[in-house]
């Protein structure tokens, strides 16, 4: 992909990658782009410390995202613990948010 990815490309990439990777501990997944440094940021926010398998699953989803944006794009994956009802602080585009009361 030579052009700078747009909002829909970012969201569709992360949503596709999350298929089968969403766990009950995942509260939110978001994504944004830093065109200047050619960096794709992906943030996962969890309800408490995630089980290793959950974190690995989300990391795998992030790897699938960066595969959609080959070099020179690089990946920054962030895993944040935000127990419910803590305030979520997503990146620019939220691709997944758990239903909460």
**Looking at domain 7-97, which of 3.30.70, 1.10.3470, 2.60.40, 3.40.50 is its CATH number?**
3.30.70
The torsion defined by the Cα of 56, 58, 63 and 64, in degrees rounded to 10, comes to: 130
CA distance 13 to 53: 21
Distance (Å) of CA 48 to CA 12, 45, 65: 27, 9, 24
Structure pTM? 0.95
Instruction: For 39-53, write each residue's pLDDT tens digit.
Output: 999 999 999 999 999
Instruction: For 63-86, write each residue's pLDDT tens digit.
Output: 999 999 888 899 999 999 999 999
CA distance 53 to 69: 25
CA distance 47 to 79: 11
């Amino acid at each position: 992909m030579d052009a700078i990815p747009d909002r829909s490309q970012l969201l569709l990439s992360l949503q596709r990658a999350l298929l089968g990777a969403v766990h009950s501990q995942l509260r939110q997944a978001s994504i944004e782009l830093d065109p200047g440094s050619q960096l794709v940021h992906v943030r996962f926010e969890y309800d408490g410390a995630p089980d290793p398998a959950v974190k690995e699953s989300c990391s795998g989803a992030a790897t699938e995202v960066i595969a959609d944006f080959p070099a020179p794009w690089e990946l920054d994956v962030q895993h944040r613990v935000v127990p419910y009802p803590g305030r979520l602080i997503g990146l620019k585009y939220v691709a997944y948010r758990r239903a909460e009361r």
